[in-house]
Amino acid sequence: MNWKRKDLLGLEELSREEIVAILDTAASFKEVSTREIKKVPALRGKTVVNLFYEPSTRTRVSFEVAAKRLSADVINVAIETSSVRKGETLIDTGRNIEALKADVIVMRHSSSGAAAILAKKVNANVVNAGDGWHEHPTQALLDMFTLKEKTGEIKGLKVCIIGDIAHSRVARSNIWGLTKLGAEVIVCAPRMLIPPEIEKMGVKVSSNADKAIRGVDAVNVLRMQFERDEKTAFPQRLEYYKNFGITKERLHKAGGNIIVMHPGPINRGVEISSEVADGPNSVILEQVTNGIAVRMAVLFLVAGGEKNRT
Amino acid sequence: MGNREEKKILAAEEIHRILIRLSHQILEKNPKASDIVLVGIQTRGVYLARRVQASINDIAGLLPPTGILDITFYRDDLTAVGLNPIVKTTDINFDINEKHVVLVDDVFFTGRTTRAALDELMDFGRPQKIELLVLVDRGHRELPIRADFVGKNIPTSLKEQVEVRLKESDGVDEVVVIEGSGGYK
Amino acid sequence: MRFLIKNSRIIDPSRNFDEPGDILIEDGKVKDIGKNINLEADKIIEASGKIAMPGLVDMHVHLREPGREDKETVESGTRAAAKGGVTSVLAMPNTEPAIDCADSIERIKRISEERAKINVFIAAAITKGRAGRELTDIKKFKNLGVVAVTDDGSSVDDASLMLQAFSAAGKERILVICHCEDRKLSAAGQVNKGLTSTRMGLRGICRESEYSRVKRDIELSAKAGSRVHIAHVSCRESIEIIAKAKKKGINVTAETAPHYFSFNENEVTGFDTNKKMNPPLRSQDDVLSLKQALAEGVIDVVASDHAPHTENEKDVEFDKAAFGVTGLETELSACIELVEEGRLDWLKLSRLIAYNPASILGINKGSLRPGSDADIILVDADKKWQVARGNFVSKSKNSCFIGSTLKGVVEYTILDGRIIYEAGLQGKK
């Protein structure tokens, strides 16, 4: 398998072989993380810029650790909405960062497609760290890496993704990745949070959590975000927890031996009970550890690939 | 490969004898045999290291710990255009501190692979000594590095390619020189 | 001044004429069409192998002047039109300020007289400022030379106001052109609603937002006894509603734009903002329905919906990018593709892009009948060309055809018997 891509924008465009190549490379990097010296010189002299238009401590830190373990220099640029209003466009910002001789730009942005649009305009490798509701490829890759580690093979697994599917980039990337690797995917959410024609992406759709998770190998629990107004949101939250929250009882009813994943940060008592989040089925912290290996693999592969000439 | 001419330099029997000789030399040079550890460089160095391990066992009745090293992350040409790194595993599940490490590779050429391997080994610990064993040395060094145990010196031109084939990976034991295929593989 | 075009294949949709021959032009009018016209002339073009047909009448063009001269001007837009073989345009009134009163109508007429390279016909707004609240003075418009009213860019949400507009326009025999979109349904949508919006993680524009308004506007126009023309039809349901209304004898006509039958929604999934328009690119099923509707005459007109935007408005995040694409310079080639596919013959094509829109607007264009204005194009139908940013005359480069190879090149554009564009000559007046 030859890695040819300049950028990692999403899993929709990747082939099965490319996804496997990332996961295999990540396995090697996971071994590196067990060494006493966790750092290798693979990206020595390279500069990785974390360009974050949305606050995200955990993804940003994970990329930062990954880049540092590859011996790259890391610069974090957090762009507040206020300075965006001052008028610099996404492409201008990207080009300015490239003028600083950045080799890789890791970008988080609230607009779907932002990474794709930037990637066409800069020579630097662009890694999508989440764009709007579109994709969050490294999160899905680390979810799959964790699943593969736990079960041996993704092919033939049954995985339920539960939560706000309509507004979730994590859901979309997981759907593309898991279906390409031969897993069966069920998405589960209140009807209002199921995007139109999602079944055409090759998944089953359910609005009944108990049915949706019955007999699955793993459930990926998405973070639920209700309106900021605590008072109006409260009954809604209780209702959601009752019908869709992943609790010990619900897991038990569904067959019990189910791997529980969550991209974090978790809302205890909203989409998942504390008991489950901290319990034996949970692999939430392993996901965080694996995230570093997966992001090392992605940075390593794109930085080693060919550069674009525009 | 096309129809480029191949010249066989070593046959299976010769390779076998060379590895026994090199095993004797290792033991001769390292009187405290229990300190010896072997580390093979992916891919064919790994098979050679296992064979050396077996013959040391035959000779001295002791099985030195043997590890695997993949040097991809330590290469100095990683971002050369068109290079598509395929990463294999590194597996050194023993302590190399204060040991006599014998690094094993198939072809000794520019020395850059050895340089990367040395750097990587150093990140695993502080061996008392590192020595280099190679099946063939084809010359053309680009770094001031030498081998301690050499199976056979094969003078080559830069246009030629030296290929070590082993039963484990290629179904046959032989070393060949291929005409005019460009030296760097 | 006598001008002779020799040996072309002549297409005249006004009388189903498709034969080789010569065209004689005198004093800006078609004087005669026949075989072997051998008269002395001031200019003779040998046009064997070329197709001669009426210049395009594009009834949906945003010239942006006044107000957004950074995107396009009457001068640049009509120059682009001439290159595309367009000899008449209907200029949309969504300028800044909108064309909604006598003053602004006079102003755009004056600008056109001074700077337009081709015929510019004027559409005025239905409501003041296109705000959908208060009707413009439609009864005065006819005398000012306005040929249609439209709030294009928006639909008039208030049905009773729309009914009044149809009544007023019906009395004056002014055409009402409807941009059919229920904003409550399309709210903040970016691309076709369905798998495409789901894949891209964007809000969708549903088909209902279009066809529910098509249905409403046809019903209101019938009630008021006015004609209605449906702009930029994009989906199958709208076609079905229009076909049904036509069967019932309702006086409805419709147009679509080349991008809706040249591309389907899959084109936009790479977040190319030059493929973002409203209504959006729809499904392959819709593309096929549109082609069929054009072949069967359910849709009467192909118009470009030429909507120039600056790079600043397009080179941004997809959801922030402006809707719309340019089209004057590519529409003829895009339509020729339908001839290549065998869906249309040249006569039908010429009807869709020249004769029908002229009839619908009630203007004396789109015909080569002796005595008509000599607005003629000569086309090399087999010549291929590569669409690139650099070869546009329009001020804006937001074409969805960039990167495509198209067939059909306009060799000459003739307006009132004068050559106003000749291929290969840069900046020819």
Dihedral sign of CA atoms B124, B125, B126, B130 in order: negative
Q: Which domain holds residue A176?
A: 138-287
Contact B120 A24 (CB under 8 A): no
How far, in Å, CA of C280 to CA of C196, rounded? 11
pLDDT tens digits, C21-50 = 999 999 999 999 999 998 888 999 999 999
Chain C residues touching residue A172 (CB < 8 angstroms): 198-199, 201
pLDDT at A145: 98
Give the range among C138-152, C154-168, C413-427 with minimum mean pLDDT. C413-427
Q: Are residues A127 and A20 in the same domain?
A: yes
The answer as to CATH 3.30.360.10 being correct for domain C55-361 is no
**Residue pLDDT, tens place only, C360-396:** 999 999 999 999 999 999 999 999 999 999 999 999 9
Chain segment C76-86, per-residue pLDDT in tens? 999 999 999 99
Q: How far is CA C219 from the centre of its chain?
A: 24
**pLDDT at residue C424 greater than cutoff 80:** no
Whether residue A95 lies within 8 A of chain C, CB to CB, comes out as no
- CATH number, domain at A215? 3.40.50.1370
Q: Is B22 a member of any domain?
A: yes
Rounded Cα distance between C214 and C208, Å, is 9
Beta-carbon contacts of residue B119 (< 8 Å; ≥ 6 apart): A41, B74
Closest Cα to residue B125, out of B164, B160, B162, B96? B96
Q: Are residues A295 and A241 in the same domain?
A: no
| ipTM exceeds 0.90 | yes
The predicted pLDDT at position A237 comes to 85
A169 and A79 co-located in one domain: no
In chain B, where does DSSP find H-type helix? 12-29, 44-60, 112-124, 167-170
C46: which strand partners? C6
CATH number for position B42: 3.40.50.2020
Rounded alpha-carbon distances, angstroms, from residue A269 to A210, A248, C107, C368: 17, 12, 65, 77
Contacting A residues, span 131-170, partner chain C, CB-CB under 8 Å? 131-135, 169
CA–CA distances in Å: residue A236 to residues A7, A107, A225, A239, A276: 40, 33, 11, 5, 21
Q: Is residue B168 part of a domain?
A: no
List CB contacts (< 8 A) between A4 and chain B.
84
CA separation, residue C204 to residues A15, C189, C281, C287, C311 (Å): 27, 4, 11, 18, 24
**Which residues are A75's β-sheet partners?**
A49
Query: For chain C, what percent of residues have pLDDT higher than 90?
Result: 97
Chain B contact set for A27 (CB, 8 A): 89
How far is the C-alpha of A128 from the C-alpha of A107, rounded, in Å? 5
A309 Cβ under 8 Å from any chain B Cβ: no
Indicate yes or no: CB of C200 within 8 angstroms of CB of A116: no
Touch test A–C: 3 Cβ pairs or more under 8 Å: yes
Residue of C305, C373, C375, C380 marked active site:
C305
Could you tell me if A2 lies within 8 Å of chain B, comparing CB atoms?
Answer: yes
Same domain, A36 and A108: yes
Q: Do C271 and A201 touch (CB under 8 A)?
A: no
DSSP state of C391: G
Closest approach of A221 to chain C, Cα-based (Å): 19
CA distances from A198 to A14, A169, A203, A218, C195 (A): 19, 13, 7, 20, 6
Question: Which single residue is written with the structure tokens 């024609």?
Answer: A197
Q: How far is CA B58 from the centre of its chain?
A: 21
- Note whether A touches B: 3 CB pairs or more under 8 A: yes
Q: Are strands B161-165 and B174-178 parallel, antiparallel or unpaired?
A: antiparallel
Select from A293, A243, A291, A245 the least CA-distant residue to A139: A291
Confirm whether A63 is domain-assigned: yes
**Distance between C106 CA and the closest CA of chain A, angstroms:** 37
Residues of chain C found within 8 Å of residue A169, distances taken between Cβ atoms: 201
* Residue A64 and residue A174 in one domain: no
Residue A25: closest CA among C228, B72, C271: B72
Looking at residue A6, its pLDDT comes to 93
Instruction: Pick A117's closest partner by Cβ from C194, C202, C318.
Output: C318
Residue A195 banded pLDDT, cuts 50, 70, 90: very high
| Residue B116 domain-assigned (yes or no) | yes
Crossing angle for the helix pair A16-34 and A284-304, nearest 10 degrees?
Answer: 110
Q: What is the pTM of this model?
A: 0.90
Confidence tier at A1 by pLDDT (50, 70, 90): low
Number of domains in chain A: 2
Indicate if A39 and A121 belong to the same structural domain. Answer: yes
Looking at the structure, do residues A180 and A283 belong to the same domain, yes or no?
yes
Residues in chain B where the model's pLDDT stays below 50: 1, 80-83, 183-185
The answer to whether A39 and A68 have CB atoms below 8 angstroms apart is: yes
* Domain that includes residue B134, residue range: 13-26+33-76+87-159
**A117-A122-A124-A125 Cα dihedral, nearest 10 degrees:** 20
Span C89-116, average pLDDT: 97
CA distance A122 to chain C (A): 13
| Interatomic CA distance for residues A41 and B72, integer angstroms | 10
Residue type, C351: R
Residues A48 and A98 in one domain: yes
Do residues A78 and A155 both lie within one domain? Answer: no
- C-beta atoms of A133 and C194 within 8 A: no
Query: B104-147: per-residue pLDDT in tens?
Result: 999 999 999 999 999 999 988 899 999 999 999 999 999 999 99
- Report the residue from B73, B79, B91 with minimal CB separation from A40: B73
pLDDT at A83: 54
Distance (Å, rounded) from C-alpha A265 to C-alpha A277?
A: 11
Answer whether C197 touches A (CB < 8 Å): yes
**For residue B23, which amino acid is it?**
S
Q: How many CB atoms lie within 10 A of CB C126?
A: 31
pLDDT at A110: 94
Q: Which of A109, A112, A121 has its CB closest to that of C202?
A: A112
pLDDT higher than threshold 60 for residue C398: yes
Q: Which one-letter amino acid corresponds to residue A248?
A: K
- Number of domains chain B contains: 1
> Rounded to an integer, what distance in angstroms lies between the CA atom of residue A169 and that of residue A179?
16
Indicate if C305 belongs to the active site.
yes
Inter-chain contacts counted by CB atoms under 8 A, chains A and C = 69
Q: What was the pLDDT predicted at A229?
A: 54
Terminal CA-CA length for chain C:
18
Specify if B53 maps to a domain: yes
A24 touches chain B (CB under 8 A): yes
The answer to whether residue B20 sits within a structural domain is yes
What is residue A178's three-state secondary structure?
helix
Q: Which of helix, strand or coil describes residue B106?
A: strand
Q: Partners for B (CB, 8 Å, 3+ pairs)?
A: A
Residues A132 and A162 in one domain: no
B61 conformational bin, left if phi > 0, alpha if psi -120 to 50, beta if neither: left
Q: Is residue B179 part of a domain?
A: no
Contact C201 A196 (CB under 8 A): no
For residues A155 and A179, membership in a common domain is answered with yes
Residue C210 has pLDDT above 50, yes or no: yes
* A 5-24 residues with CB < 8 A to C: 12
d(CA A168, CA A179): 17
Distance, in angstroms, between C325 CA and closest chain A CA? 18
- Residue A108 and residue A120 in one domain: yes
Residue whose tokens read 């996804």: A19
Contact of C200 with chain A, judged by CB distance below 8 Å, is answered with yes
Of A113, A197, A200, the CB nearest to C271: A113
pLDDT digits (tens, 9 = 90+) for C263-272: 999 999 999 9
Identify the band that residue A81 occupies on the pLDDT scale cut at 50, 70 and 90: low
Check C317 against A117: CB less than 8 A apart.
yes
The gap between the terminal CA atoms of chain B, to the nearest Å, is: 13
